[in-house]
Amino acid sequence: MLEYIYPNWEKEYSHNVKLSILLGVDSFSLSIVNFRNVILAYHQYDWSSENNTLEDVLLLSNEIKNDALFNAAYQSFSYQVIPSIFSFLPPRLFSKENLNTYFEHLSPKEGNVAARFGVLPEMDLAIIYKLNYFQENLSRNLYPESLPVPFFNKILPFLRDLELYDTHIFCRISKKSLLIFVFRDNFFQFANQFNCNQLTDFQYYIMLVCAQFQLNPILETIYIWGECDDENEVVIKLKSLFSRVKLLNAQLVISSDAKTRIVSESKVLDHLI
């Protein structure tokens, strides 16, 4: 477990703090956020594709259930998920009756998991998605009566509202996965997720998307968040490829007088927006 704790966080424990949970494709993280939108405590649990049996799910589920942050009572609570498989289409072309049909052309194939959908009116998008086997079963064990909300509901408006004109590429970096978004003049153009087992995989998929959108890395800024401190080998490689590598932060949503910083904003961006 990865842990960051503000030493006096319990003194700020009150009705003004909230619990934020993010279920990723290979991680589960939870954080305590105060009324200034500053992280007071953060825990992250990881798993690998090699350890994804039901027994592995139950072991991690029991560990999380014993977590003090998870067990505390919070009046405010948010639960987001990064789906394993997803796609977008205009709401006018979406039909619930065709939900399973849409997934016939998507990969990887995830068996024994539910097909789900959502609508994001402010982006004029319908989202279809599935969790992977580990996510589906972990969520059922931890919150059998609650469905997590796709994290696209928050991250897409956030990226759009950065008001960066021309075409820009945004990347969320995890240990074994990569999410890439492309916006052109504040309009959403592209999103996809890639499994990455080595450094060259991250490089390949980013360069592939750049070529698709005719972006020349040596002239471009790439915006990143997630597992992306300065010592990360992916970040080091990107700095050699792009004109500029910029870590996304949450200054748009954090009070200007907030001082506490126990963990990089780029690492916990999804918990703050």
Residues with Cβ within 8 Å of 169's Cβ and at least 6 positions away in sequence, in order, are: 180, 181, 182, 206, 209, 210, 213, 215, 220, 222, 223
pLDDT-derived band at 250 (thresholds 50, 70, 90) equals confident
- Asked if 177 and 93 count as a contact pair (C-beta separation under 8 A), the reply is no
pLDDT digits (tens, 9 = 90+) for 132-175: 989 999 999 999 888 899 999 999 999 999 888 889 999 999 98
Q: Which of 273, 272, 221 is nearest to 247 (CA)?
A: 221
Q: Before 108, cis peptide (omega within 30)?
A: yes
Tell me which H or E stretch contains 240: helix 233-241
- Asked if 150 and 80 count as a contact pair (C-beta separation under 8 A), the reply is yes
**Three-state secondary-structure class, residue 3:** strand
pTM listed for this prediction: 0.91
In the chain, domain spans: 162-251
Tell me which H or E stretch contains 54: helix 54-65
Report the C-alpha gap between 211 and 17 in whole angstroms. Answer: 44
pLDDT digits (tens, 9 = 90+) for 46-60: 988 777 788 999 999
pLDDT for the residue 24: 94
**E strands present in the chain:** 2-5, 18-23, 27-33, 39-46, 76-81, 85-89, 116-120, 125-130, 149-150, 167-173, 177-184, 187-195, 221-226, 244-247
Of 3.30.420.260, 2.40.50.140, 3.30.420.40, 3.40.50.300, which CATH number belongs to 162-251?
3.30.420.260
